[in-house]
Amino acid sequence: MLTGMLGFGASADAKIDRSSKSEPINKTAFSDEFLRKIPKADLHVHLDGSLRIGTVIDLAKELEVELPAYTEAGLRELVFKETYDSLEDYLKGFMYTGAVMSTAKAIERVAYEFAVDNFSEGVRYFEVRFAPQLHVNPEQPEKGISDIASVIAAVNIGLARAKQEFNEKDAEVVDGTAPRYEYGIIVCAMRFWNQYFSKYYAAFWKMHEFLPEHRIMAAASLALVTAAVEHRDLTNTPVIGFDLAGAEMGYEAVVHKEAFEFAHANFLKKTVHAGEGYGPESIYQAVNKVGAQRIGHGFHIFSSDKVHSKHIKDPTKWTHMLGDYVADRRIALEVCLTSNLQTMPDLKGDVKNHKFGQMLEAKMSVVLATDNRLVSDTTLCKEIRLACDNFDLEPDQLKHIVVDGFKRSFFHLAYTEKRAYVRKVIDYYDKIAAECL
């Protein structure tokens, strides 16, 4: 899920029924303490959907941003809710989080607190994604975010400060017992945007207004990935991935192929939001046309009833082959259970209807992620708990899913260092399991 006003192709009117339809399972085997202590990786989480609610209020007052309420209780009731009436209702909160992330100082604070919140619940590694284009303000350089690079730099300053603090104060990291805290940055291009999305986009649109719309979209994506690679190379900032998000229906990934080719040529890893607002053909295009190494959500990978192409004569067989292709190549699916519950009417408010179970049966590489910690009112511990309690996960299954989060990461250091890091994760996981299970 990307940020507010992005025009997702899905419609949603489902509410979550958090009362269990059957008794939860595995609560004894997987205690809250165990889930908190094990090393975890979150590979799909949006920065502007994951602010602290108190920070939204503080920054709104400081930056004179109007909110519908200025108390946590008020915002929980009106904006950042436990359940949502529609996708539009879900996206409403991004108007406010985006508005307060309007200076370098504010963005640095948001990033620092985001990292602290992750590290504090045992997330040893995360890959935070955001669209710098939504925050750039070329008209007011005094705000410190006049270009894409300055937005990325502000985020990295906050993340790096938290990482250093945790690595220095965690005794098990210092003595080498536990894996250190690490992170990576993924920049998000958008399938669709217009001149009203941000000041950056307004200026970009004006400069290219005589191009066809799809060419403008493609040019913006190429500009983003070029700036991200340049900043990575000049500053050694851990920009590790390129993402495409936004409305799937009517806005094909292949339009942005040149940007993905540039990312590939410059060793930037690729993930694509697909199979969330459109059917399995969106996933096919992501993996076969733009070379996605991971898929954001992938909810509709088995939805043969949502195959639209008349050239596909047997949709059931075709989706089966697509699933095998994704599984065989270990293209990880970034599964966000709570977010899907809040925005996918197919689930009818019951997480047991999620395709996560089918993904496991098909032996796919799946990782659990939060998507938006504030907007979905979740944490990675909550997401793992939701999976354990509703999909009858065995201990070996849970370990495999958790470790896969590290293996399928776009880790920014050399492959030999990544292997050593994953080995440390596995050893530490086993240590916690021996103590808690």
Does any domain span residue 23? Answer: no
pLDDT band at 1 (very low <50, low <70, confident <90, very high): low
Residue 16: the pLDDT is 44
Residue 437: the pLDDT is 86
Average pLDDT over residues 204-208: 95
Contact 92, 56 (CB under 8 A): no
State residue 36 phi and psi, 5-degree precision: -75, -40
Average pLDDT over residues 2-11: 37
Residue whose tokens read 């899905």: 10
Residue 12: the pLDDT is 36
Residue whose tokens read 């966000």: 336
pLDDT exceeds cutoff 50 at 236: yes
Q: Rounded to whole angstroms, how far apart are CA atoms 341 and 348?
A: 8
Residues pairing with 187 in the sheet: 130, 242
Give residue 74's domain range.
Answer: 32-436
In the chain, pLDDT over 90 holds for what percent of residues?
Answer: 89
**32-68 burial, b for 16+ CB within 10 Å, e for fewer?**
eebbbbbbbbbbbbbbbbbbbbebbbebbeeeebebe
Tally of helices (H runs) and strands (E runs) in the chain: 17, 8
Q: Rounded to whole angstroms, how far apart are CA atoms 259 and 290?
A: 9
Q: Rounded to whole angstroms, how far apart are CA atoms 53 and 336?
A: 21
pLDDT exceeds cutoff 90 at 358: yes
Q: Rounded to whole angstroms, how far apart are CA atoms 156 and 284?
A: 33
State residue 296 phi and psi, 5-degree precision: -75, 115
User: How is 22-52 classified by DSSP, letter by letter?
Assistant: S---STTTS-HHHHHHS-EEEEEEEGGG---
Q: How many domains does the structure of the chain reveal?
A: 1
Q: Which amino acid is at 109?
A: R
C-alpha torsion sign, points 13, 15, 21, 26: positive
pLDDT band at 315 (very low <50, low <70, confident <90, very high): very high
Contact 250, 286 (CB under 8 A): no
pLDDT band at 88 (very low <50, low <70, confident <90, very high): confident
Average pLDDT, whole number, for the chain? 93
In this predicted structure, which of 87-96, 130-139, 180-189 has the lowest mean pLDDT?
87-96
H-only helix segments in 329-379: 337-343, 356-361
Residue 177: the pLDDT is 97
Burial class (CB in 10 A: 0-12, 13-18, 19+), 147: middle
Average pLDDT over residues 22-46: 81
Average pLDDT over residues 247-274: 96
pLDDT band at 82 (very low <50, low <70, confident <90, very high): confident
In the chain, pLDDT over 70 holds for what percent of residues?
Answer: 94
Does any domain span residue 9? Answer: no
Residue among 395, 394, 351, 397 at smallest CA distance from 376:
351
Does any domain span residue 16? Answer: no
C-alpha pair distances (Å), 22 with each of 352, 355, 395: 10, 18, 21
**Cβ partners under 8 Å of residue 410, min gap 6:** 127, 184, 186, 240, 241, 269, 271, 293
pLDDT exceeds cutoff 50 at 93: yes
Does any domain span residue 21? Answer: no
Q: Rounded to whole angstroms, how far apart are CA atoms 306 and 252?
A: 16
pLDDT exceeds cutoff 70 at 269: yes
pLDDT exceeds cutoff 50 at 17: no
Q: Rounded to whole angstroms, how far apart are CA atoms 102 and 105?
A: 9
Read off the pTM.
Answer: 0.93
User: How is 244-268 classified by DSSP, letter by letter?
Assistant: EES--TT--GGGGHHHHHHHHHTT-
Does any domain span residue 114? Answer: yes
C-alpha torsion sign, points 363, 372, 153, 53: negative
pLDDT band at 391 (very low <50, low <70, confident <90, very high): very high
pLDDT exceeds cutoff 90 at 2: no
Average pLDDT over residues 170-188: 98
CATH code of the domain covering residue 130: 3.20.20.140
SS3 55: helix
pLDDT exceeds cutoff 70 at 18: no
Does any domain span residue 24? Answer: no
Q: Rounded to whole angstroms, how far apart are CA atoms 7 and 75?
A: 23
Does any domain span residue 399? Answer: yes
Does any domain span residue 4? Answer: no
Q: Which H or E element spans position 185?
A: strand 182-190
In this predicted structure, which of 13-27, 245-259, 264-278, 342-356 has the lowest mean pLDDT?
13-27
Rg (CA), the chain: 21
pLDDT exceeds cutoff 90 at 400: yes
Q: Please state, as a whole number, how many other Cβ atoms lie within 10 Å of the Cβ of residue 168.
A: 10
3-state helix, strand, coil in the chain (%, to 5): 50, 10, 35
Residue 29: the pLDDT is 76
